Amino acid sequence: MARIVFAWELGGGSGHIQYDLPIAKKLIERGHEVICLMKHVVDAERILGQYGIQVMQAPVWQLQVKQLPNTYSYIETLFNHGYLVPGALLGMAKAWRSLFQFIGPDLVIADHAPTALIALR
């Protein structure tokens, strides 16, 4: 069957994981292999691990961009996650691309993972 990857890069809490879980469980029931590239691997493993879903660390921006105003739009959110720093987007996109090449997914479900989508493009 197919190898399906869930990708999560932006957002907090475990809401993204909770929304992906019912879909992942159905895919597993149908014989597909599911791998989750998650922003927060500890929460993801706690929630997804009990169903035998493999969890791996997603490439995420870990530095704090300084001297930016409050975030009021999506683009400003992206600025706060490395899109404004020269070379950062390239580095993160290459990391995503390397993971996808290593895993070889048949399908990627990107749940708030804009850099993953750039890498797939």
Return the pLDDT at 120.
96
Return the pLDDT at 25.
97
Nearest to 10 by CA among 61, 73, 49: 61
The structure's pTM equals 0.90
Give the amino acid at 111.
Answer: D
pLDDT (tens digit per residue) in 80-117: 788 888 788 999 999 999 999 999 999 999 999 999 99
CB 54 within 8 A of CB 36: yes
Average pLDDT on 17-35 reads 95
Return the pLDDT at 2.
98
pLDDT (tens digit per residue) in 63-79: 776 677 777 888 888 88
Average pLDDT, the chain: 91
pLDDT tier at 6, thresholds 50, 70, 90: very high
CB 59 within 8 A of CB 115: yes
